[in-house]
């Protein structure tokens, strides 16, 4: 019997991140843990979300860096080296409003051509929620605190700082949509 997508995704992410980028690995594990808690909201897409969550930052792995834009590098790795599920690859490529950062980098046309933004808004929002409410160390945080932390770490005037501050309203709105769905769930 073959392994599930979720088991495979964790194995791949751990291999690529744990030894060389332990903090990034801690973040990825935290994001995946958040995703696991959204299972009831996503029904049939729960495994896909957890898999995308654990793999969303795999493109930071030094051996995978080609463009320096981790969503694109990670998605290409998953597609080209692993033949990964198209929905999974598109989620990784477009996580947390990556298209806005791609615009800052002059890579928007490449990203959209290779990996169109997924049309499943609830799934896209769920991955934003998981990523943007998890600290670099894998702990829970708020979206506002996470955006502020990223802007401080990179510098507000840096490419990443400009992107994250530009994306903040969309990030906050996506997180609020997920929180509203969670609040409406029976306890």
The Cα–Cα gap between 94 and 168 comes to: 15
Over its C-alpha atoms, the chain yields an Rg (Å, rounded) of: 15
Smallest Cα–Cα separation from 50: which of 79, 91, 84?
91
pLDDT in tens, 41-95: 887 899 999 999 999 999 999 999 999 999 999 999 999 999 999 999 999 999 9
pLDDT in tens, 151-174: 999 999 999 999 999 999 999 999
Mean per-residue pLDDT of the chain: 96
């Amino acid at each position: 019997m073959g392994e599930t997508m979720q088991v495979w995704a964790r194995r791949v992410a751990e291999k690529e991140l744990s030894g060389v980028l332990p903090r990034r690995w801690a973040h990825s594990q935290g994001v995946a843990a958040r995703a696991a808690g959204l299972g009831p909201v996503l029904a049939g897409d729960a495994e896909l979300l957890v898999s995308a969550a654990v793999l969303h930052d795999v493109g930071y792995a030094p051996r995978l860096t080609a463009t320096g834009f981790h969503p694109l590098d990670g998605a290409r790795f998953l597609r080209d080296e692993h033949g990964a599920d198209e929905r999974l690859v598109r989620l990784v490529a477009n996580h947390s409003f990556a298209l806005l950062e791609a615009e800052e980098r002059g890579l928007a046309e490449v990203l959209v051509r290779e990996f169109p933004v997924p049309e499943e808004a609830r799934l896209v929002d769920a991955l934003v929620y998981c990523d943007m409410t998890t600290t670099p160390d894998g702990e829970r945080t708020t979206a506002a605190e996470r955006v502020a932390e990223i802007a401080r770490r990179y510098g507000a005037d840096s490419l990443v700082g400009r992107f994250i501050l530009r994306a903040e309203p969309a990030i906050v709105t996506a997180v609020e949509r997920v929180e509203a769905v969670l609040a409406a769930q029976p306890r």
